[in-house]
């Protein structure tokens, strides 16, 4: 199993470790609910060093990224970031990503899912339009700092060593700096719906940064957070997770990701097929739902209409710690996708009532 620069620290801090996509990662420290609540109430630290980073540089960097991704890369100025998608040539998605503009036209960092990193890099290399492309995943550790008190903690730590205030940065921007002699890039992005940032730090400095954040955040109630709570937090926001809401067969419009597809602005990989699905009329939508009878939805459970037609599949489901009730995300036939529509969920052979609801489940 691969280890992040924080693996030993997680074990020392008493985390329960698991194999996640080939990585030795903390799934839980003190308890999923306590960690989840702490991110909603105070601030939490997440080791996301397993995420991949691909550096795209040179005079062909912009042209290459415009072709590989669906969002409008040309719009990005220095220090700006955007959520985007890597379409494949079959109508689905290679991955969902964040593109960081370090220097307009010529220097970008692409952050990709850990489980897809090798596939993404191979794909991007194969369809490279002449950019200088490097897999920098081993070079960077990454720590997410999330929660209502995250910015206060970031200002304490980076206000001194980095010389800038994260609280003054706009969402989806990135600033470079240093922490104890290690290069850092602080990005105001996240996967919890809370305020905060994600910090790329040179691998050797990851542990020092982690320990400093824990130390400086003590009075703010800072806590390390495992992958278990990371998943419940993102599910409450209905954020997509590759392998659940999206995969290599997903049409991104059906996944509700049309806002990061800019066909009027540019050409991109397999644009005609992806946009064609939308123009022909979407067959299904990704929706959030709650239960009207007892049971917890889980990935793969089938949705049925009251006249017993199969109308969809659950992509993610859990017991929401914030709401203290079950929540689910599912693809559902467009005829049933409207808020308030009731349907049946097949829970291990037992059909129970559920209803389409507004998302995010938790509003901030």
Partner 1 sequence: MPFHIPEDYYYTKEHEWAQVDENIVTVGITEFAQDSLGEIVYVELPEEGQKITQGQTFGVVESVKAVSDLYAPVSGTVIEVNASLGDDPSVLNDDPVNEGWLVRIEMDTEKELANLMRAPDYKKLIAEK
- Contacts with partner 1 by CB under 8 A lie at 28, 31-33, 228, 231-232, 294-296, 298, 318-319, 321, 326, 348
Q: Which is nearer to partner 1, 22 or 31 (CB)?
A: 31
Q: Shortest approach of partner 1 to residue 107 CB, angstroms?
A: 40
Gap between the Cα atoms of 317 and 310, Å rounded:
18
Gap between the Cα atoms of 158 and 216, Å rounded:
11
Q: Shortest approach of partner 1 to residue 23 CB, angstroms?
A: 18
Q: Shortest approach of partner 1 to residue 348 CB, angstroms?
A: 7
Q: Which is nearer to partner 1, 208 or 296 (CB)?
A: 296
Q: Shortest approach of partner 1 to residue 96 CB, angstroms?
A: 22
Residue 185: count other Cβ atoms within 10 Å of its Cβ: 23
| Angle (deg, nearest 10), helices 227-236 and 32-41 | 50
Q: Which is nearer to partner 1, 295 or 312 (CB)?
A: 295
Gap between the Cα atoms of 295 and 318, Å rounded:
10
Q: Which is nearer to partner 1, 230 or 262 (CB)?
A: 230
Q: Report DSSP letters for 267-336, one per residue.
A: --TTHHHHHHHHHT--SEEEEEEEESSS----TTPEEE-TTS-EEEEEEEEEEETTTTEEEEEEEEEGGG
Q: Shortest approach of partner 1 to residue 323 CB, angstroms?
A: 12
Q: Which is nearer to partner 1, 312 or 321 (CB)?
A: 321
């Amino acid at each position: 199993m691969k280890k992040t620069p924080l693996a030993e620290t997680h074990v020392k801090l008493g985390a329960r470790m698991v194999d996640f996509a080939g990585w030795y990662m903390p799934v839980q420290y003190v308890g999923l609910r306590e960690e989840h609540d702490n991110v909603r109430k105070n601030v939490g630290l997440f080791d996301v060093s397993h995420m991949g980073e691909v550096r795209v540089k040179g005079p062909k960097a912009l042209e290459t990224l415009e072709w590989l991704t669906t969002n409008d890369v040309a719009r990005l100025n220095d220090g700006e970031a955007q959520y985007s998608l890597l379409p494949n040539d079959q109508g689905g998605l290679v991955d969902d990503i964040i593109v960081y503009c370090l220097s307009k036209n010529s220097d970008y960092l692409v952050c990709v899912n850990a489980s897809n990193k090798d596939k993404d890099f191979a794909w991007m290399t194969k369809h490279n339009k002449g950019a200088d492309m490097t897999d920098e995943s081993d070079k960077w550790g990454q720590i997410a700092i999330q929660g209502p008190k995250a910015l206060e903690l970031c200002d304490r730590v980076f206000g001194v060593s980095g010389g800038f205030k994260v609280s003054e940065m706009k969402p989806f921007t990135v600033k470079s700096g240093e922490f104890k002699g290690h290069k850092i890039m602080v990005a105001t992005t996240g996967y919890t719906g809370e305020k905060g940032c994600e910090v790329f730090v040179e691998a050797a400095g990851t542990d020092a940064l982690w320990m400093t954040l824990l130390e400086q955040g003590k009075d703010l109630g800072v806590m390390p957070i495992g992958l278990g709570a990371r998943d419940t937090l993102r599910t409450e926001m209905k954020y997509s997770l590759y392998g659940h809401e999206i995969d290599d067969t997903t049409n991104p419009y059906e996944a509700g990701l049309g806002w990061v597809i800019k066909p009027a602005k540019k050409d991109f990989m397999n644009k005609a097929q992806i946009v064609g699905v939308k123009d022909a009329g979407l067959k299904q939508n990704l929706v959030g739902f709650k239960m009207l009878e007892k049971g917890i939805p889980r990935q793969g459970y089938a949705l049925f209409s009251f006249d017993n037609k199969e109308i969809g599949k659950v992509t993610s489901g859990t017991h929401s710690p914030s709401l203290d009730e079950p929540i689910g995300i599912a693809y559902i036939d467009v005829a049933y996708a409207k808020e308030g529509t009731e349907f049946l969920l097949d829970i291990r052979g037992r059909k129970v009532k559920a209803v389409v609801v507004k998302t995010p489940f938790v509003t901030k």
